[in-house]
């Protein structure tokens, strides 16, 4: 056998047989081993042949382990277990022993059993019908590739295609609207899908033209929303086009007058929309998106607008994405951002302005992260604090259709993400990721953002009301000594979230273990009550009361933790300027972008006309674009947030 | 094929047991192939197979006799006496036996070895399978009915000088290459079976190295379509392997059939006799069946068209039986007039239109088609009222049917199974295209409604009691609205579901599975009603009769079974295939079934008698798709070789070959009027063929020549009307709606 020249089949060598025998504690003679080897080969071939029959009848081209096992079973041989996995099994060799083996990693059963990442069951099997060929005519081109030429379509479709693209990319806004609308509802354009996708992939060539980019993105949106289109693997292509708009330092961004920020926001929104509605079409999509976002974020060479894109992208993908990517990455990133923000030189003004954008975006993302996290961890959230946060978060969700990924019932979203993460399997950078408990997270974040975080965090639903604030209220609020700074805010807010755990950033002097003021629980509950009854007046009063109660502690606060982190940015001149209404824009965006920033604005729920509050509480904290003095103001006024009537 | 030796024994024994009752019932004698089933190949005691002695355990007795002979030969008289006494054998048992056997042998019932003459030693050689025994037994009587492996293999025990095999073979090769062209093609047919048998002989006699040399030297000369078999053969190098290798067993138990003209045969015979080439001559005598015909020798292409099966071509007489391929008369159903009136007035002309149309479809005229079986040839279920309603619906739909043709191709709708991670293995539509069912590799069967009407279960017994049974809409009322859903899943099988079939009345669904069972499901309650056990191996295909009630199944055990839904045992067992039965179909008149097999043959069976009435050879790979034309005259078959072959059932001839597909054909369907043949394949395409033209062309030919050697022109390209790609979706089922819209189905494979 061994000296056979022509090897037509894979053969098990005599040596292998001997080795295996040794493994089983049997010594084999050469001749016996040779005989055995030959027989083993023959039986293997025989089994392989019969297993191919199972493959043929299953109408497959690929022979599976299962086929082989069936063949074995029918010939009364025990099936071989453990090779059914989808992924290729790594085959290793050990030099010394000339041994080959399959690497078999241990699986932690306990971990597996207790895993909270419950995979979303695979999509249900279904049957869909489409008319492929009418009267025996149709597109003879095999579908599924992006065509290079548009010639092979039927005349009608070709005409349609030309009209549509011309309308969308043309000058007439009305025409464009009509075209987009049709694209969104036309049921017969499946054949054109590859062409449209191809057109959209042209984003890379028009990166200088914001208008065109915008139109192309709208085109994506229409395609995605068309219920008759099965996007299939084209999702990938669409996503990459959208990602391009989110992340790339577009040529259009060079001119600061171009509002590429809005484009990025819109693209991010679109991304989340695609993902939530079509994410299941491409496996591992979520991962790839997260990876590329993370890559951009961790690349300091990239311009700030790319970072901004990454942050909004993560934000749009949901709070889990923020938690997994942005949050762990924040400490590293913060240093860079801080450096930008702290550079007051004139030449840096533009960059700094961009930096503030990023800052704002991160803040919003982080805020939602905290809220959602609080919401999703009822146990940790604490009995007293929770109801309020829940309500707040819900209000937030409801009121911000633009911001949160559109159809995102909470539970589903969580599952979806979890399953995707799990699907990623080995090699995923988040594998070793462990969830940070909410309080710890808050703490850490607080160390970056200071009170601006707290303010945002506590106030979700009420912000819409600023415009209604009367000057007197403002004055009233301001009476609460600005000097007291933001401490009351923190104390107030923190217990809300973490009452049980007592971790809250405090002023240096105060012991960390300080029990929360008993009154807090009470007020928290009261607040919840008030909220649920949705009476604006009661809520305002209760909040007032609370603010007062907590104000007693306010004095303690001085620079605090946050100060070390932001030594320069804060505290320079605490009292400057009435913060008043600037924060309408969400505090972060000012100037030209205001109108466009709908997503961020909408974070503020429309609320009952608000009494007591501190629109200015907001104003202060915002990094104001391009102006050196602003951060200061933000800091100075942050204490006002304490008085938010909740 | 799956069975490695050990597993087979058990199952085969069971099979044998199963076989007996049906034989007793009298309907199931296979006229053309007496081999029913292989008995346990493991049994060491062997006997001349077809020898039917009245004794209780003939095999044991044979063994005893053999031992007796051995003793006697060695003059151990005392032992002979003792043994005889203990076994209770009569004094003259030996002589009796010999006479018996020789009688049977000359009668053609099939003895391997002639017992006259050196009976003792030859019998001994059989019993002990001693290859060393120089038993040059004059084996004249061919074994046709020889189920025992040892006996079969022992035919190889005779041998010449192993070194000379190659010389013999190449001598013959030289001769055949030198004969006139017209004979060369015919005589070349001999190469393959000769090659195989010589190789096996070498292997059997433990000349491993010679066998290898022989194989390497000559395997390249064989026709490419034998490649698969050669692969099996080449892996077999030891005598031990021959046992339990079913492919081999097939080769041994059935004679390879060749069709050769008388002239060519004489040429060969003369040559071999001149050369005294006994080795080859013996093989030809023993293992080949040469079907000699008078007339022109066939051309190479004619031969190639028909060869390729595991056991050569079909014998001509195998296809001589009369087949009643005509359709049964449709029962007279008067169209309820009121129903007609409800329709729009413009449809009033319908009944008139219908009549002529039906005639034009041919074969359905009022008088019995001379080719049709009598209405009562097999008992068919009575039509129920609901069936009549359905027939009326059918006729109505038929009037709206689109007339297809080369200039008027059908529209194609594709039903894609999405997210079928568990593997879609079978699909079926109801005749009215209202339901679609899929069989999956995860053992489930899923049924979808493809109309807006949801699937509902019947209410539970308790709830049914509460229903007013007199009400007009009682049929509506018995349904449980709460269970309405677009699809239902049927759980019950424990292996992949390889075939499913809806009953014509849409009340039942059949599924067959790897677990060896066929299950009958109710589509009213969506539960399993019956599990039919009989196949002991995976069941590859099943189908309901077009009239309901009966169904046919076939599987790995090589036996096709005919069942009735209310019998838990099969009514008929059709055995004769040499390998798995991979596809089964009912003839439109329910009187015949056709089976396709991995042995690359197609067999048509008479349901009434259980006989095999047609054997079609010509495919070069396992047959996975079969379809009868609506008029019952023609059959189309598709195989892994990507070719569709067309057959004339009445004449038993191949009448067309459609080349184009590049992968296994899994589905074939004729349009409702038979003008178009659609084929769906693994290569993700649907192809449409001009069936009318294929059949018409042929009718102009004079193929009634008794030899039946038609010359196929290669006109696939003319007949191909269109190729339609799917989106990376293998087409595993095709269906024409009653209006001739083509539905295709498959699982999307991203």
3-class SS of residue B281: helix
pLDDT at A135: 66
**CB neighbour list of residue B353: distance below 8 Å, 6 or more residues apart:** B399
Asked whether the predicted pLDDT for residue A257 surpasses 80, the reply is no
Asked whether the predicted pLDDT for residue B519 surpasses 90, the reply is yes
Among A631-645, B274-288, B331-345, B373-387, the least confident range:
A631-645
B interface test, pick of A5, A75, A136 with most B CB neighbours within 10 Å: A136
Q: Which residues of A touch B418 (CB under 8 A)?
A: 123, 125-128
Contact B4 A128 (CB under 8 A): no
Q: Which residues of B touch A140 (CB under 8 A)?
A: 723-725
Whether the CB-CB separation of B177 and B187 falls below 8 Å is answered with no
Asked whether the predicted pLDDT for residue B56 surpasses 80, the reply is no
Among A233-242, A608-617, B220-229, the least confident range:
A608-617
Contact A77 B4 (CB under 8 A): yes
**How far is B337 from chain A, CA to nearest CA, in Å?**
34
Q: Which residues of B touch A133 (CB under 8 A)?
A: 411-412, 722, 724
Output A605 or B749, whichever has higher pLDDT. Answer: B749
Asked whether the predicted pLDDT for residue A586 surpasses 80, the reply is no
Contact B415 A135 (CB under 8 A): no
**How far is B144 from chain A, CA to nearest CA, in Å?**
27
- In chain A, what's the furthest Cα-to-Cα distance? 105
User: Which residue from A50, A132, A133 is facing B2, i.e. has the nearest CB?
Assistant: A50
Asked whether the predicted pLDDT for residue B14 surpasses 60, the reply is no
User: Which residue from B1, B666, B724 is facing A133, i.e. has the nearest CB?
Assistant: B724
**How far is A61 from chain B, CA to nearest CA, in Å?**
8
| H-assigned helices in A482-517 | 487-498
Tokens of A418: 């979890």
pLDDT at B158: 58
Q: How confident is the model at residue B629 (pLDDT cuts 50, 70, 90)?
A: very high
User: Which residue from A38, A51, A130 is facing B414, i.e. has the nearest CB?
Assistant: A130
**CB neighbour list of residue B175: distance below 8 Å, 6 or more residues apart:** B271
Asked whether the predicted pLDDT for residue B700 surpasses 60, the reply is no
Output B490 or B296, whichever has higher pLDDT. Answer: B490
Contact A76 B6 (CB under 8 A): yes
- C-alpha span between A611 and A537 (Å, rounded): 8
B interface test, pick of A57, A62, A194, A229 with most B CB neighbours within 10 Å: A57
Q: Which residues of A touch B425 (CB under 8 A)?
A: 57-59
B interface test, pick of A1, A41, A73, A125 with most B CB neighbours within 10 Å: A125
Using one digit for the tens of pLDDT, what is the confidence trace for A452-465? 665 555 444 433 33
Asked whether the predicted pLDDT for residue A65 surpasses 50, the reply is yes
- C-alpha span between A196 and A241 (Å, rounded): 12
**How far is A125 from chain B, CA to nearest CA, in Å?**
5
pLDDT at B527: 93
Output B630 or A517, whichever has higher pLDDT. Answer: B630
Among A96-105, A252-261, A378-387, the least confident range:
A378-387
Contact B419 A126 (CB under 8 A): yes
For residues B57-64, average pLDDT: 63
Contact B622 A56 (CB under 8 A): yes
Output B235 or B88, whichever has higher pLDDT. Answer: B235
pLDDT at B150: 55
Asked whether the predicted pLDDT for residue A268 surpasses 50, the reply is yes
By C-alpha distance, which of A173, A169, A174 is closest to A161? A169
Asked whether the predicted pLDDT for residue B551 surpasses 90, the reply is yes
Using one digit for the tens of pLDDT, what is the confidence trace for B114-125? 333 334 444 333
Q: How many residues does chain B have?
A: 750
User: Which of A470-479, B460-469, B641-650 is most confident?
Assistant: B641-650
Contact A124 B419 (CB under 8 A): yes
Contact B418 A127 (CB under 8 A): yes
pLDDT at A518: 41
Using one digit for the tens of pLDDT, what is the confidence trace for B587-609? 999 999 999 999 899 999 999 99
Asked whether the predicted pLDDT for residue A50 surpasses 50, the reply is yes
Contact A53 B728 (CB under 8 A): no
Contact B414 A45 (CB under 8 A): no
pLDDT at A11: 77
Residue of B nearest to A134 (CA): B411
pLDDT at B160: 66
pLDDT at B58: 56
Q: Which residues of A touch B412 (CB under 8 A)?
A: 131-133, 136, 138
Strands B412-418 and A126-133 turn out to be antiparallel
Q: How confident is the model at residue B422 (pLDDT cuts 50, 70, 90)?
A: low
- C-alpha span between A401 and A308 (Å, rounded): 21
For residues B550-574, average pLDDT: 93
Q: How confident is the model at residue A576 (pLDDT cuts 50, 70, 90)?
A: very low
Beta bridge partners of B292: B260
Contact B556 A4 (CB under 8 A): no
**How far is A8 from chain B, CA to nearest CA, in Å?**
9
- C-alpha span between A276 and A270 (Å, rounded): 10
Q: What is the mean pLDDT of chain A?
A: 63
B interface test, pick of A133, A137, A232 with most B CB neighbours within 10 Å: A133
Taking the CB of residue A511, how many other CB atoms lie within 10 A of it? 8
**How far is B329 from chain A, CA to nearest CA, in Å?**
32
| H-assigned helices in A58-192 | 65-74, 109-114, 155-169, 173-185
For residues A567-576, average pLDDT: 39
**CB neighbour list of residue A371: distance below 8 Å, 6 or more residues apart:** A319, A389, A392, A393, A396, A457, A460
User: Which residue from B216, B232, B514 is facing A6, i.e. has the nearest CB?
Assistant: B216
Q: Which residues of A touch B245 (CB under 8 A)?
A: 46
User: Which residue from B234, B496, B728 is facing A58, i.e. has the nearest CB?
Assistant: B496
Whether the CB-CB separation of B204 and B156 falls below 8 Å is answered with yes
Tokens of B482: 């709460």
Contact A128 B415 (CB under 8 A): yes
- Local structure of residue B312 (DSSP, 8 states): B
Q: What is the mean pLDDT of chain B?
A: 76
Q: How confident is the model at residue B167 (pLDDT cuts 50, 70, 90)?
A: confident
Contact A129 B450 (CB under 8 A): yes
3-class SS of residue B27: coil
Complex ipTM more than 0.85, yes or no: no
Contact A75 B2 (CB under 8 A): yes
Q: Is B634 exposed, middle or buried (0-12, 13-18, 19+ CB in 10 A)?
A: buried
Residue in the block written with tokens 């990938």: A236
Output A354 or B701, whichever has higher pLDDT. Answer: A354
B interface test, pick of A36, A37, A132 with most B CB neighbours within 10 Å: A132
**CB neighbour list of residue B197: distance below 8 Å, 6 or more residues apart:** B251, B283, B287
pLDDT at B714: 73
Angle at A285 between CA A280 and CA A289, to 5 degrees: 140
**CB neighbour list of residue B427: distance below 8 Å, 6 or more residues apart:** B415, B417, B436, B437, B438, B439, B500, B732, B733, B745, B746
User: Which of A196-205, A431-440, B543-552 is most confident?
Assistant: B543-552
pTM of the predicted protein model: 0.56
The helix (run of H) or strand (run of E) holding residue B260 is strand B256-261
pLDDT at B678: 94
Residue of B nearest to A50 (CA): B2
State the DSSP string of B570-616. -SEEEE--SS-EEEEEE-TTSSEEEEEETTSEEEEEETTT--EEEEE
Residue in the block written with tokens 């009222």: B385
pLDDT at B500: 95
Q: How many residues does chain A have?
A: 646
Q: Which residues of B touch A9 (CB under 8 A)?
A: 235
Q: How confident is the model at residue B639 (pLDDT cuts 50, 70, 90)?
A: very high
**How far is A113 from chain B, CA to nearest CA, in Å?**
24
Give CA separation, B572 vs A254, B24, B147, B534, B567, in Å: 84, 11, 21, 11, 11
């Amino acid at each position: 056998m061994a000296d056979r020249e022509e090897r037509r089949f894979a053969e098990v060598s005599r040596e292998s047989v001997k080795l295996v025998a040794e493994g089983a504690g049997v010594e084999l003679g050469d001749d016996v081993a040779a005989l055995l080897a030959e027989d083993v080969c023959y039986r293997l071939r025989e089994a392989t042949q019969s297993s191919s029959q199972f493959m043929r009848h299953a109408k497959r081209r690929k022979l599976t382990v299962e086929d082989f096992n069936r063949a074995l079973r029918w010939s009364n041989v025990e099936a071989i277990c453990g090779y059914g996995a989808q992924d290729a099994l790594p085959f290793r060799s050990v030099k010394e022993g000339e041994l080959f083996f399959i690497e078999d990693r241990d699986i932690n059963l306990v971990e597996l059993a207790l895993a909270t990442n419950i995979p979303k069951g695979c999509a249900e099997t279904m049957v869909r019908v489409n008319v492929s060929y009418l009267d025996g005519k149709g597109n003879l081109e095999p579908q599924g590739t992006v065509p290079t030429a548009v010639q092979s379509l039927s005349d009608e479709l070709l005409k349609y295609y030309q009209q549509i693209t011309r309308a969308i990319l043309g000058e007439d806004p009305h025409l464009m609207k009509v075209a987009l609308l049709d694209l969104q509802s036309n049921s017969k354009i499946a054949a054109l899908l590859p062409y449209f996708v191809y057109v959209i992939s042209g984003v890379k060539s028009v990166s200088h033209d914001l208008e065109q980019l915008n139109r192309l993105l709208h085109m994506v949106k229409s395609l995605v929303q068309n219920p008759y289109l099965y996007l299939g693997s084209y999702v990938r292509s669409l996503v990459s086009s959208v990602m391009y708009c989110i992340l790339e330092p577009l040529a259009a961004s060079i001119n600061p007058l171009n509002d590429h920020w809005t484009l990025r926001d819109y693209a991010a929104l679109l991304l989340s929309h695609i993902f939530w509605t079509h994410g299941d079409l491409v496996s591992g999509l979520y991962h790839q998106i997260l990876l590329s976002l993370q890559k951009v974020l961790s690349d300091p060479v990239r311009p700030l607008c790319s970072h901004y894109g990454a942050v909004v992208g993560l934000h749009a993908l949901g709070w889990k994405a923020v938690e997994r990517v942005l949050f762990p990455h924040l400490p590293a990133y913060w240093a860079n951002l801080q450096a930008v923000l702290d550079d007051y030189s004139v030449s840096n003004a533009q960059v700094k302005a961009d930096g503030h954008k990023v800052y704002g975006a991160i803040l919003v993302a982080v805020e939602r992260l905290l809220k959602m996290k609080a919401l999703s961890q009822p146990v940790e959230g604490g009995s007293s604090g929770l109801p309020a946060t829940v309500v707040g978060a819900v209000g937030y969700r409801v009121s911000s259709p633009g911001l949160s990924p559109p159809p995102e019932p909470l539970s589903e979203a969580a599952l979806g993400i979890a399953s995707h993460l799990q699907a990623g399997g080995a090699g995923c950078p988040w594998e070793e990721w462990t969830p940070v408990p909410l309080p710890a997270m808050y703490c850490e974040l607080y160390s970056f953002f200071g009170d601006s975080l707290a303010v945002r965090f506590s106030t979700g639903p009420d912000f819409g009301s600023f415009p209604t604030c009367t000057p007197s209220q403002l004055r009233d609020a301001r009476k609460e000594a600005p000097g007291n700074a933001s401490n009351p805010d923190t104390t107030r807010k923190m217990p809300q979230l973490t009452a049980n755990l007592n971790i809250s950033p405090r002023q240096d002097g105060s012991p960390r273990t300080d029990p929360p003021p008993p009154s807090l629980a009470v007020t928290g509950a009261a607040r919840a009550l008030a909220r649920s009854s949705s009476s604006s007046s009661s809520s305002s009063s209760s909040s007032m009361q609370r603010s007062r109660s907590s104000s007693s502690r306010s004095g303690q606060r001085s620079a605090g933790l946050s100060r070390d982190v932001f030594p320069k940015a804060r505290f320079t001149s605490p009292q400057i300027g009435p913060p008043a209404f600037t924060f309408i824009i969400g505090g972060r965006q000012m100037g030209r972008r205001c109108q466009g920033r709908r997503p961020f604005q909408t974070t503020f729920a429309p609320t009952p006309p608000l009494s007591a509050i501190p629109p200015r509480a907001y104003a202060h904290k915002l990094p104001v674009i391009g102006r050196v003095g602003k951060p200061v103001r933000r800091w100075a006024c942050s204490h006002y947030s304490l008085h938010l009537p909740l | 094929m799956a069975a490695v030796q050990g597993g087979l024994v058990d199952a085969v024994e069971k099979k044998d047991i199963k076989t007996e009752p049906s034989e007793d019932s009298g309907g199931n004698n296979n006229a053309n192939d007496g081999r029913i089933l292989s008995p346990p190949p493991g049994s060491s005691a062997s006997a001349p197979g077809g020898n039917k002695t009245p004794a209780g355990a003939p095999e044991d007795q044979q063994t005893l006799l053999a031992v007796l002979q051995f003793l006697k030969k060695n003059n151990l008289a005392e032992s002979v006496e003792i043994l005889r006494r203990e076994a209770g054998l009569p004094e003259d048992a030996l002589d009796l036996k010999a006479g018996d056997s020789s009688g049977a042998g000359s009668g053609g019932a099939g003895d391997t070895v002639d017992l006259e003459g050196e009976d003792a030693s030859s019998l001994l050689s059989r019993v002990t399978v001693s290859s060393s025994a120089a038993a040059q037994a004059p084996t004249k009587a061919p074994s046709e009915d020889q189920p025992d492996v040892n006996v079969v293999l022992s035919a190889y025990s005779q041998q010449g000088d192993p070194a000379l095999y190659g010389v013999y073979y190449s001598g013959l090769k030289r001769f055949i290459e030198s004969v006139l062209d017209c004979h060369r093609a015919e005589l070349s047919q001999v190469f393959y079976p000769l090659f195989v048998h010589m190789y096996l002989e070498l292997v059997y006699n433990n000349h491993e190295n010679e066998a290898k040399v022989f194989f390497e030297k000559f395997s390249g000369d064989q026709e490419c379509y034998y490649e698969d078999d050669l692969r099996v053969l080449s892996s077999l190098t030891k005598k031990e392997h021959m046992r339990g290798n079913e492919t081999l067993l097939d080769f041994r138990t059935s004679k390879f059939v060749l069709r050769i003209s008388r002239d060519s045969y004489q040429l060969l015979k003369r040559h071999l006799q001149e050369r005294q080439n006994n080795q080859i001559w013996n093989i030809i005598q023993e293992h080949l069946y040469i079907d000699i015909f008078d007339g022109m020798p066939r051309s190479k292409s004619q031969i190639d068209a028909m060869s390729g099966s595991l056991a050569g071509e079909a014998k001509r007489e195998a296809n001589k039986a009369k087949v009643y391929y005509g359709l049964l008369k449709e029962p007279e159903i008067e169209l309820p007039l009121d129903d007609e009136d409800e329709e729009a007035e413009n449809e009033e002309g319908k009944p008139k239109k219908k009549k002529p149309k039906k005639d034009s479809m041919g074969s359905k005229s009022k008088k019995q088609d001379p080719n049709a079986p009598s209405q009562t040839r097999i008992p068919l279920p009575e039509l129920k009222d609901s069936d009549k309603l359905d027939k009326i619906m059918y006729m109505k739909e038929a009037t709206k049917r689109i007339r297809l043709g080369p200039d008027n191709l059908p529209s194609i709708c594709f039903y894609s199974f999405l997210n079928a991670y568990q593997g879609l293995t079978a699909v079926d539509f109801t005749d009215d295209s209202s339901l679609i069912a899929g069989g999956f590799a995860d053992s489930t069967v899923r049924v979808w409604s493809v109309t807006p009407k949801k699937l509902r279960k019947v209410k539970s017994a308790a709830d049914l009691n509460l229903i007013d049974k007199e009400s007009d809409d009682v049929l509506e009322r018995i349904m449980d609205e709460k269970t309405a859903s677009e699809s239902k899943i049927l759980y019950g099988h424990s292996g992949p579901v390889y075939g499913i079939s809806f009953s014509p009345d849409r009340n039942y669904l059949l599924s067959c599975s790897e677990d060896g069972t066929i299950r009958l499901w109710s589509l009213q309650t969506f539960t399993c009603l019956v599990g039919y056990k009989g196949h002991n191996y995976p069941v590859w295909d099943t189908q309901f009769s077009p009239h309901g009630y009966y169904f046919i199944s076939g599987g790995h055990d090589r036996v096709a079974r005919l069942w009735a839904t209310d019998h838990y045992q099969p009514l008929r067992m059709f055995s004769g295939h040499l390998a798995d039965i991979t596809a089964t179909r009912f003839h439109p008149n329910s009187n015949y079934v056709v089976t396709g097999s991995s042995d690359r043959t197609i067999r048509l069976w008479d349901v009434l008698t259980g006989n095999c009435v047609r054997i079609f050879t010509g495919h070069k790979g396992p047959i996975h798709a079969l379809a009868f034309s609506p008029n019952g005259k023609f059959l189309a078959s598709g195989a892994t070789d990507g070719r569709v072959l067309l057959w004339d059932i009445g004449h038993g001839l191949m009448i067309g070959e459609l080349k184009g597909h590049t992968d296994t054909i899994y589905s074939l369907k004729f349009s409702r009027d038979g003008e178009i043949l659609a084929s769906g394949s693994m290569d993700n395409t649907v192809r449409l063929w001009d069936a009318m033209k294929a059949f018409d062309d042929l009718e102009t030919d004079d193929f009634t020549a008794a030899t039946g050697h038609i010359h196929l022109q290669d006109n696939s390209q003319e007949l191909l009307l269109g190729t339609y790609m799917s989106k990376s979706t293998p087409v595993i089922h095709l269906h024409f709606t009653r209006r001739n819209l083509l539905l295709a189905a498959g699982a999307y494979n991203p």
